């Protein structure tokens, strides 16, 4: 027996030794910057291949459709777009950074990752490129979107599309009940309770643990006059406003949300609203065209939906940004594409095709107003994007969001009181910031 055990130990030791000799590889990935001018205007005769990793969403499909038009200006640049679902894309992206060989030349970055990626040195700073690109008009981007791309005063990305939230509701049901869009959190709770009938919920909510519940509840927090961080960046989740917001959230969930929906996420809520089983939801602004599309999930209900900012005017902002990996093999060509797709003229085409807004001028462009999805919609988006804040700031964004989302879920499930959950959330964020 003892010889066997010794054999096991010996083989494990061998494996460990093997690992140690190769351990130099860990973390050796990263910066290996190939030729890069670092400048803005890229000559039209530039040659190269730009490999892009993107998330499989309609906004990406719109970008894919615009590639042919890009090649009219830059015939020598080949654009290869790989699309994956959100989490897969993220895992693959992280993995690609571990290689010293460039895997992608241009990427899209979600806002919670921005600080971590910059801190790790994964991204190329873009200030010089942005400022030296002719007619780019970077000041035209919605400021909250630009803020997300900025880490310690340096811009590492340009906006790709926003996913700010808003209140989506059925106008016919609001008219029928003789109600107006809520202006306070109390009105929101009262309205959705009044809209609740035996076969229809007043509001489809998204209390799934983690990202979803935090993303939804933070809108309630803002509506209650609270905030996620104070001016100096410290978390403010154990405030009376936060408690009021969570109480209201739980009250609405127990009295006006669909039965047995404690694990619902975006998908369930959207289907519930589009099939007429819920009267409203808090979700991404760009859901409105989808809800009002007669060929979409709403069927006969299409046309009866509208979008409003949250009560109090402030909402949660999410944003994707174009960024160039530090190990990009074709950073000039990558910038050529990123600058082209976000340029004022192309942005109009993108938004008309259904892309989510990034530029203020685009939303007042006559072509967009005429052939887009209606002036009211764009007015609501301008209002939403003028006062919106992301869920996380600084390093560890993803972990912070998950930690708060877990505590909120405990409160909704009843395993913690509102006070306990918020105190624990506050403590968790403080710990992650340390």
Partner 1 sequence: MTRRTNLWSVARALLLWVAALTVTLPLLWVALASFKSPAQLNDPGLVLFAPNLDNWARVLEAGVLDAAGRSAMVATITVAISVVAGSMGAYAISAYKTGGSATRFGILAAQVLPPAVLVFPFLTMAYALRLDTTYIPVIFAHLSFVLPVITWFLIGFFDAVPRSLEEQARVDGFSRFAAFRMVVLPQVLPGIGAAAIFGFTLSWNDMFYGLILAPTQETILPVAIAAFNTFRGVELGAMSAAIIIAVVPVVIASFFIQRRLVQGISGGAVKF
Partner 2 sequence: MTSTMSFRWAMLAPVLTITGVAVGFPLGYALYLSLTDYRLTSRGAPNFIGLENYLFVLTDPRMWNAFSNTLAYVIVAVALQTVLGLTIALALQKQKWIRDLTRAMLLAPMFITPIAVGLTFRFLLNDQLGAIPAALRSIGISIDFFGPGNALMTLALIDVWQWTPFMVLLLLAGLESIPRQPIEAAKVDGASAWYTFRRVVLPLLTPVLTVAVLLRSLDALKVFEYVYATTRGGPGIETETIQYFTYQTGIQFFRLGEASAVAFVLLAIVMTLIVILFRRLQRSAPR
DSSP codes joined into one string, 44-99: TT--EEEEEEEE-SHHHHHHHHHHHHHHHH-TTEEEEEEEE-HHHHHHHHHHHHT-
Report the nearest approach of partner 2 to the CB of residue 116 (Å): 5
Q: Is 392 in the site for partner 2 (CB under 8 A)?
A: no
Binding mask 75-94 for partner 2 (x = CB under 8 A): ------------x--xx--x
Determine the Cα angle at 297 with ends 295 and 299, to 5°: 60
Task: Return contacts of 172-177, CB within 8 angstroms, 24+ apart.
Answer: 172/304, 173/279
> Closer to partner 1 at the Cβ: 37 or 56?
56
Q: For CA atoms 340, 344, 350, 356, give the dihedral sign.
A: positive
Which of 134, 198, 232, 260 binds partner 2 (CB under 8 A)? It is 260
- What's the closest the beta carbon of residue 22 comes to partner 1, in angstroms? 7
Q: Does position 24 bind partner 2 by CB under 8 A?
A: yes
List of residues contacting partner 1 (CB under 8 A): 4-5, 7-8, 11, 19, 22, 25-26, 29, 51, 55-58, 80, 82-86, 88, 91-92, 95, 98-101, 103, 266-267, 270-271, 274-275, 290, 296-299
Q: Which residues contact 404 (CB under 8 A, 6 or more apart)?
A: 214, 237, 391, 425, 428, 429
Q: Are strands 77-84 and 48-55 parallel, antiparallel or unpaired?
A: parallel
Which one of partner 2, partner 1, none is in contact with 399 (Cβ closer than 5 to 8 A by kind)?
partner 2
95 exposure class (CB count in 10 Å sphere: 0-12, 13-18, 19+): exposed
Partner touching 396 among partner 1, partner 2, none, CB below 5 to 8 Å by kind: partner 2
With tokens 């949250």, the residue in question is 310
Q: How far is the CB of 104 from partner 1 (least distance, A)?
A: 8
Contacts with partner 2 by CB under 8 A lie at 11-12, 14-20, 22-24, 26-28, 30-31, 87, 90-91, 94, 97-98, 116-117, 119-122, 208-213, 258-263, 265, 268, 271-272, 275, 277, 396, 398-399, 402, 406, 409-410, 412-416
């Amino acid at each position: 027996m003892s010889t066997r055990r010794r054999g096991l130990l010996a083989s494990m030791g061998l494996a460990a030794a093997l690992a140690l000799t190769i351990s130099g590889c860990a973390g050796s990935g990263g910066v290996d910057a190939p030729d890069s001018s670092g400048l803005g205007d890229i000559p039209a005769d530039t040659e190269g291949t730009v490999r892009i990793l993107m998330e499989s969403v309609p906004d990406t499909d719109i970008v894919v459709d615009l590639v042919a038009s890009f090649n009219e200006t830059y015939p020598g640049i080949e654009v290869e777009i790989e699309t994956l679902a959100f989490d897969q894309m993220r895992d693959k992206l992280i993995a690609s950074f571990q290689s010293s060989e460039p895997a992608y030349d241009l990427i899209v970055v979600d806002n919670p990752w921005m600080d971590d990626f910059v801190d790790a040195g994964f991204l190329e700073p873009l200030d010089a490129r942005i400022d030296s690109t002719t007619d780019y008009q970077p000041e035209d981007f919605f400021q909250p979107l630009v803020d997300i791309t900025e880490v310690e005063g340096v811009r590492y990305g340009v906006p790709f599309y926003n996913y700010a939230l808003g209140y989506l509701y059925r106008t016919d049901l609001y008219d029928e009940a003789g109600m107006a869009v809520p202006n306070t959190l109390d009105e929101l709770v009262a309205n959705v309770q009044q809209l609740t009938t035996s076969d229809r919920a007043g509001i489809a909510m998204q209390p799934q643990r983690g990202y979803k519940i935090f993303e939804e509840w933070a809108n309630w927090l803002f509506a209650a006059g609270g905030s996620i961080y104070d001016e100096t960046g410290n978390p403010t989740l154990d405030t009376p406003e936060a408690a009021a917001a969570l109480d209201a959230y739980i009250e609405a969930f127990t009295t006006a949300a669909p039965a047995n929906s404690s694990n619902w996420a975006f998908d369930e809520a959207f289907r519930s609203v589009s099939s007429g089983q819920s009267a409203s939801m808090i979700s991404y602004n760009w859901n409105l065209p989808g809800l009002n599309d007669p060929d979409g999930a709403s069927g006969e209900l299409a046309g009866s939906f509208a979008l409003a900012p949250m009560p109090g005017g402030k909402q949660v902002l999410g944003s994707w940004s174009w960024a160039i990996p530090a190990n990009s093999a074709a950073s000039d060509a990558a910038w050529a594409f990123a600058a082209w797709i976000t340029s004022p003229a192309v942005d109009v085409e993108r938004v008309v095709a259904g892309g989510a807004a990034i530029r203020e001028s685009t939303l007042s462009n006559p072509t967009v107003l005429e052939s887009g999805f209606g002036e009211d919609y764009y007015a609501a988006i301008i209002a939403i994007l003028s006062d919106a804040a992301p869920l996380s700031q600084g390093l560890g964004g993803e972990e912070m969001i998950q930690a708060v989302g877990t505590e909120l879920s405990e409160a909704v499930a009843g395993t913690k009181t509102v006070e306990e959950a918020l105190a624990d959330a506050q403590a968790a964020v403080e710990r992650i910031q340390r």
